Amino acid sequence: MRTSFISTVLVSLSLSLPAMADVFTLSSQDIATGKLMAKTHEFNGFGCSGDDLSPHLTWSNVPEGTKSFAITAYDPDAPTGSGWWHWQVVNIAKDVRALPRGAGSVKSTLLGENAHQVGNDYGVKAFGGACPPIGHGVHHYRFTIHALSVEKLDLPSDASGALAGYMINANTIASSTIEALYQRD
């Protein structure tokens, strides 16, 4: 009985390991899940004095059927009642696998020819760094790569973060997230 159980477990593990190796994965040289971000990624304004640079991001094991990518950075802890969109990029070409630090600047040419940055909650079409209120505790910043089933999301030039988020989620095949932290005391 015990040998049969062990054999079943080993067979199950051997069948699931290849699938686990092919999981769509987001990684970064700059940020990590559960770790505090550097001041490099803090906003410059609203009382914050960081460098306001988007982090380096890279992704691997892209799912079959991916036609483009989108990136979002969102703080659910912002005291707004609806969180805070720090960054949304759509229409990233399907052959792109990484963005360097600072790719989210206002006039970036590092996102690719057809990529489009949606206006963030600071009112800028670019990356806007972390800037939680002083004394508000640790905030969680969810950087997510979305593999999309469409080549292009047709969004109006003044699309809201909510509309962009809806369209991204409606066309996502798979996604992967790094949840970095930031706090101002």
The CA-based dihedral angle spanning residues 134, 139, 143, 148, taken in that order and rounded to the nearest 10 degrees: -110
**92, 70 Cβ separation under 8 angstroms:** yes
* Residue in the structure block whose two tokens are 């509309």: 163
Residue 8 lies in a domain: no
Residue 119 lies in a domain: yes
Cite the DSSP H helix spans in 22-175.
161-170
Residue 28 lies in a domain: yes
β-partners of residue 147 are 69, 174
Residue 9 lies in a domain: no
Residue 17 lies in a domain: no
The CATH number for 32's domain is 3.90.280.10
pTM of the model: 0.88
**Is residue 63 classed exposed, middle or buried when 0-12, 13-18 and 19+ CB atoms within 10 A define those classes?**
middle
Nearest to 128 by CA among 85, 64, 81: 85
Sign of CA dihedral 73, 76, 77, 79: positive
The CA-based dihedral angle spanning residues 117, 27, 147, 54, taken in that order and rounded to the nearest 10 degrees: 0
* b/e code 123-136 from CB counts within 10 Å (16+ = b): eebbbbbbbbeeee
**How many residues can be counted in the chain?**
185
Contacts of residue 106, defined as CB under 8 A and 6 or more positions apart, other chains included, come to 124, 125, 126
Residue 156 lies in a domain: yes
Nearest to 29 by CA among 178, 146, 183: 178
Number of structural domains found in the chain: 1
Residue 11 lies in a domain: no
Residue 106 lies in a domain: yes
**pLDDT tens digits, the chain, 185 residues: what are they?**
544 444 444 444 444 444 456 899 999 999 999 999 999 999 999 999 999 999 999 999 999 999 999 999 999 999 999 999 999 999 999 999 999 999 999 989 999 989 999 999 999 999 999 999 999 999 999 999 999 999 999 999 999 999 999 999 999 999 999 999 999 98
